[in-house]
Structure 1
Amino acid sequence: MLAELSIKNFAIIESISVSFQKGFTVLTGETGAGKSIIIDAIHLLAGGRGSADFVRHGTEKAEIEGLFLIDDNHPCNRRLLQFGIDIEEGMVVLRRDITVSGKSVCRVNGKLVTISTLREIGRSLIDIHGQHEHQELMDERSHLQLLDEFGSESIQKALLEYQYIYREYEKVKKDLHSLSVNEQTMVQRLDLLQFQLKEITDANLQIGEDEELINEKKKYMNFERLYQALNTSYAALQGEQRGIDWVGLALANLEETITMDEEYKEMYEIVSNSFYQLEDVMHTLRDKIENLEYDPERINYVEDRLNEINQLKRKYGKTIEEILEYCAKIDEEIEMITNRENHINQLTTKLFSIEKDLILEGENVTAIRKKTAKKLTDAIHKELKGLYMDKTVFEVRFHKNDQPLFKMDGMDTIEFYISTNPGEPVKPLAKIASGGELSRIMLALKTIFSKHQGITSIIFDEVDTGVSGRVAQAIGEKIYQISIGSQVLSISHLPQVAAMSDYHYFISKEIIGNRTKTAIRVLNEDERINEIARMISGAQITTATQEHSREMLKLANQFKEEVVKV
């Protein structure tokens, strides 16, 4: 859920910080007080389009920050992992700054991200609905995904089996297409591959060869210094009055001491070991010096060989291993092109066989989806009946294709259709015109899909516009039902909706020093009664409207108790 929201220098908001809870929270206030501005800020926090116009006049930047609390199984966790963002104690902090130049700076848990990344993460946390902004519910491209979410495991299991075959189908189809291009292009491709294969095989590359050559080149580049250092080391050890003689002298004297006192035996052994080790080093140094040879021809060979290897790396891979892998790959392709006709026949036969399996699995997915669509239709009709739209007809329409249409998500193309008036044909959901009807349809769909999408916070921005009376009451009850076990924030002008909320926030504005400021505060019981009374009657609050307000709150509490019992 959205637990904390902080907004600074945003439109007419100078600075507000507010905490939210689970359940149903309503935000009310006079027109122009800044209710929708708060929703605009949350929309930007979720990756919405920004503008320098949002920055409060006279300031350098607008700052919006939100703290979300999520559980371990929340879909947002997968997205955070995908983008390499750490999460601690189930907290996600989204932050967005917009400067006067229009530049946006976005952060998730302190890490800088792009707007597209913020949008990806934000859409898994926040779902904002306005009367003319219904997002994916109004987007026919998302209807198939929504149906699959409603069908849950039964569809997913069948879809995974279909997708396994689909991936093989796509691979074979791609291979067949590569072999089916015109003959001239294929011959040109064959010439290129054969040239590349010869160039790599003639080089006779060995894994690790480049590293050995680099070390050898380094040795030759430092030959003189190396020779001098080895000679100096050898001279320091060998010869009269040199290191080995002095260690030998110390060893002889310590050998004499242990005949007098065993206490010095350990020191004698250390020096004795050192003496013989130094002798070994001295002999090795001598052999190295004698065998050290400056070979100009070898140096030239090393240089030429490294140049050859580096040229191959620039063409075929960053390492010798990658070059050899590429060599094996083009060798296979050459064989396939050389025996092109045979491979085309084999792939065509294989593709035909895979298509038959794919159709069977696809039809199985379709059959399950159609059963799921019937359940979804029944569920939506039930929800619409509770919103006084019992004559409305909802339909999940499967579009027929002349030929099987293979896609990653199956063979189906679906769209939600609806008719709100008896006798009228069903039409695409996106073409519904009436604001009041569209609001209720959206609420019915959201009531069902909110249980399957795992969205942290659902925000309704005046979705109850254009309704009144018993319909307004039904909308309030429906929004409350959506909020059970989750979080719903709603801006509303309807007292029926406000009375149904668990928490009531009042948004106001005042003019201080010729500047307008927006403020937000949670209402206590008495303040809430007065605010609902104002929503009923307008500016003037009477005893009658206060009594009406109390009655509405009482009835709302009774409804909530009944819902909890169920």
Structure 2
Amino acid sequence: MLQELSIKNFAIIDELSVSLEKGLTVLTGETGAGKSIIIDALHLLVGGRGSSEFVRHGERKAEIEGLFIIEDPNHPIYKRADEFGMDIEDGMVVLRRDISSAGKSVCRVNGKLVTIATLREIGSSIVDIHGQHEHQELMNESLHMALLDQYGEKNIYPALQSYQEIFAEYDHTSKRIKQLSENEQQMAHRLDLIQFQLNEIQNADLRLNEDEELFEEKRKLMNFEKLFESMQASYNALQGEQRGLDWISLVMGHIEAAAELESDLSPVLEAVTSSFYALEDATRTIRNHLDILEFNPERLNDIEARLNEINQLKRKYGSTIEEILEYSSKIEEEIDTITNRDNHVQQLQQKLISLEKDLALEANELSDLRRKWAKKLQNSIHKELKQLYMDKTVFEVRFSEATPHANRFKKEGQDSLEFYISTNPGEPLKPLSKVASGGELSRMMLAMKTIFSKHQGVTSIIFDEVDTGVSGRVAQAIAEKIHQVAVHSQVLCISHLPQVAAMADTHLYIRKKITGGRTKTTVTSLDDESKIKEIGRMISGVEITDLTKKHAKELLELAHTIKMT
């Protein structure tokens, strides 16, 4: 949910900070007070198109910031955040957008700079904005299949996953056949290239870790003089008359004589004796090492040449010897495939035929499930429309017949579908996107939103005057539907209908005032008495009578009864 919204220097808003709650929040106020400006700010916050016109006159930039709390750990935003390298701690997501007076935007998500496209992708997963005249997501036919899949997710998603696993292999095999069936001249050029590369790698006769061993040997050769001097000095300090071993041997003799007189000195004698023999062994090792030490400048040149050869191969085929050898194995297989292309194509074609049969079975099962859930969706939509006094409206999920060839298979299945409606008896069904009536479009959208809000995962839904063009019992039905959507998602709604305002869990009153010769917008959260006055104003206009207040109280009592049931 959107917990906090801060707006600064945006249009006629000087500085505004609004704390929001769960459930239905209704924004009301006189026309021009700035209600839609707040929604405009939210629209920009989630990636909408901005311009310098939004910056308050005389100010350098407009600032919009929103704090969202995402309680569901499985919400898609966590996956998107991982893809963009963002951290979400304690379920908090902070979106921020600054728009300069020159029209430039700076966007941030949890403090990290992002592009507008990234902000839009993140924002669309948590906020869904519906305006009176906009083409909504529900009106976009390319998204209708995804909406149906969401509606029947428990049955459809497992079948879709099974289908897509086979489709991925089917698609890969198809592309492989296409690659092998390319122009023969291109294949010949490719074969010449990788054959040359393979020969170059094989002629190098690489060994794993060879470069590390050569570096170590090179280091020793380059430091030969220092190594020889250190080893020789160590040997001289230990071996010879009046040297280390001679003195320790003398100590050992004296301690041995003392130990014969004092038994407590036996451990000391043992320690000195052990040290003597250990040092004696070390001295022999040093001598042997000195005997084999030999400076060979030609060997150093050989190592330099070999390391240079290895580095040349690394620049071409991989950053390590292991990667070079892996590449060698890969192109060796490719050479075999190209050389025996006809056999490979034949094998792949047989595999493709088998996969196509499996894919067709999965696709048909998926289609059957979608058609089953399409009927359930139609019944649910008709039920919702009836409650909105559109009981004569016919809604249909219309499938296009699948063509009986391999190209019918797509990542989403073999189906193509679109939502159709007819709002008047005797009129033919038309695509939902062709509905013209504002009032009908609003009710149709609300009916569908009531159903899909349970499945879409957005945390905040914004309705900007979607109740325009309705009145009477339809207005009451719309109010109840908007509140029903708010059961599953936080809803912010700008409305001029008293019925909608009465259903609010939180009622915010928007007004503008002039201070110091400048217009500014303020937001006030209404208490129970203030709600009665505001709903009364919405009912009667300017003058609020006792009868108006009575009607307002009745509306609030009715709304309370409806919410309790």
Contact 2:63 / 2:96 at 8 angstroms: preserved in 1? no
Superposed displacement of residue 392, structure 1 = 1.3
Give the 3-state SS of the residue equivalent to 1:144 in structure 2.
helix
Q: Residue deviations 1:271-314, cap 9 Å, x none?
A: 55444444333333332233222222222221222222222222
Give the 3-state SS of the residue equivalent to 1:360 in structure 2.
helix
Report the equivalent of 2:560: 557
Superposed displacement of residue 79, structure 1 = 2.8
Separation of aligned partners in 2, 1:133 and 1:41: 16
Q: Residue deviations 1:120-147, cap 9 Å, x none?
A: 3322221111123354212111111101
Report the equivalent of 1:369: 370
Separation of aligned partners in 2, 1:260 and 1:129: 104
1:230–1:548 Cα change, 3 Å: same
Superposed displacement of residue 514, structure 1 = 2.5
Contact 1:5 / 1:67 at 8 angstroms: preserved in 2? no
Report the equivalent of 1:136: 137
Q: 1:447 and 2:450 equivalent?
A: yes
Q: Residue deviations 1:147-190, cap 9 Å, x none?
A: 10111121112222211221121121111111111222222222
Contact 2:453 / 2:489 at 8 angstroms: preserved in 1? no
Give the 3-state SS of the residue equivalent to 2:80 in structure 1.
helix
1:338–1:541 Cα change, 3 Å: same
Give the 3-state SS of the residue equivalent to 1:41 in structure 2.
helix
Report the equivalent of 2:228: 227
Separation of aligned partners in 2, 1:84 and 1:333: 36
Superposed displacement of residue 561, structure 1 = 2.2
Contact 1:476 / 1:500 at 8 angstroms: preserved in 2? yes
Contact 1:54 / 1:62 at 8 angstroms: preserved in 2? no
Superposed displacement of residue 93, structure 1 = 3.0
Report the equivalent of 2:547: 544
Contact 1:70 / 1:456 at 8 angstroms: preserved in 2? no
1:50–1:252 Cα change, 3 Å: farther
The residue correspondences of 1:416-565 to structure 2 (distance < 5 A) are: 416-562=419-565
Give the 3-state SS of the residue equivalent to 1:25 in structure 2.
strand
**What amino acid maps onto 1:499 in structure 2?**
A
1:243–1:29 Cα change, 3 Å: farther
Superposed displacement of residue 260, structure 1 = 6.1
Give the 3-state SS of the residue equivalent to 1:141 in structure 2.
helix
**What amino acid maps onto 2:194 in structure 1?**
L
In structure 1, the gaps of 5 or more residues are none
Separation of aligned partners in 2, 1:223 and 1:46: 67
1:356–1:528 Cα change, 3 Å: same
1:533–1:321 Cα change, 3 Å: same
1:518–1:304 Cα change, 3 Å: same
Contact 1:45 / 1:66 at 8 angstroms: preserved in 2? no
**What amino acid maps onto 1:95 in structure 2?**
R
1:230–1:364 Cα change, 3 Å: same
Contact 1:4 / 1:68 at 8 angstroms: preserved in 2? no
Report the equivalent of 2:71: 70
**What amino acid maps onto 1:300 in structure 2?**
N
1:527–1:223 Cα change, 3 Å: same
Contact 2:6 / 2:18 at 8 angstroms: preserved in 1? yes
Superposed displacement of residue 232, structure 1 = 3.6
1:231–1:348 Cα change, 3 Å: same
Q: Residue deviations 1:226-269, cap 9 Å, x none?
A: 33333344444445555555555665565566566666666665
Please tell me the root mean square deviation across aligned C-alpha atoms, in Å.
2.5
**What amino acid maps onto 1:346 in structure 2?**
Q
Superposed displacement of residue 219, structure 1 = 2.3
Report the equivalent of 2:314: 313
Superposed displacement of residue 524, structure 1 = 0.2
Contact 1:70 / 1:92 at 8 angstroms: preserved in 2? no
Report the equivalent of 1:198: 199
Separation of aligned partners in 2, 1:255 and 1:509: 106
Give the 3-state SS of the residue equivalent to 2:388 in structure 1.
coil
Report the equivalent of 1:4: 4
Contact 2:61 / 2:98 at 8 angstroms: preserved in 1? no
The residue correspondences of 1:174-323 to structure 2 (distance < 5 A) are: 174-239=175-240, 242-244=243-245, 272-323=273-324
Report the equivalent of 2:39: 39
Contact 2:453 / 2:488 at 8 angstroms: preserved in 1? no
**What amino acid maps onto 2:18 in structure 1?**
V
**What amino acid maps onto 1:66 in structure 2?**
L
**What amino acid maps onto 1:501 in structure 2?**
A
Deviates more, 1:395-404 or 1:229-238: 229-238
Separation of aligned partners in 1, 2:241 and 2:103: 82
Separation of aligned partners in 2, 1:488 and 1:371: 31
Superposed displacement of residue 375, structure 1 = 0.9
Give the 3-state SS of the residue equivalent to 1:451 in structure 2.
helix
Separation of aligned partners in 2, 1:269 and 1:96: 79
| TM-score for the superposition, normalised by structure 2 | 0.92
1:134–1:448 Cα change, 3 Å: farther
Paired residues, number: 562
Q: Percent identity?
A: 62
Contact 1:125 / 1:456 at 8 angstroms: preserved in 2? yes
Separation of aligned partners in 2, 1:158 and 1:27: 43
| TM-score for the superposition, normalised by structure 1 | 0.92
The residue correspondences of 1:130-169 to structure 2 (distance < 5 A) are: 130-169=131-170
Give the 3-state SS of the residue equivalent to 1:497 in structure 2.
helix
Contact 1:22 / 1:487 at 8 angstroms: preserved in 2? yes
Give the 3-state SS of the residue equivalent to 2:18 in structure 1.
strand
Give the 3-state SS of the residue equivalent to 2:128 in structure 1.
strand
Give the 3-state SS of the residue equivalent to 1:391 in structure 2.
coil
**What amino acid maps onto 1:183 in structure 2?**
E
Give the 3-state SS of the residue equivalent to 1:394 in structure 2.
strand
Superposed displacement of residue 363, structure 1 = 1.4
**What amino acid maps onto 1:507 in structure 2?**
I
Give the 3-state SS of the residue equivalent to 2:289 in structure 1.
helix
1:250–1:367 Cα change, 3 Å: same
Separation of aligned partners in 2, 1:36 and 1:263: 98
Superposed displacement of residue 70, structure 1 = 1.3
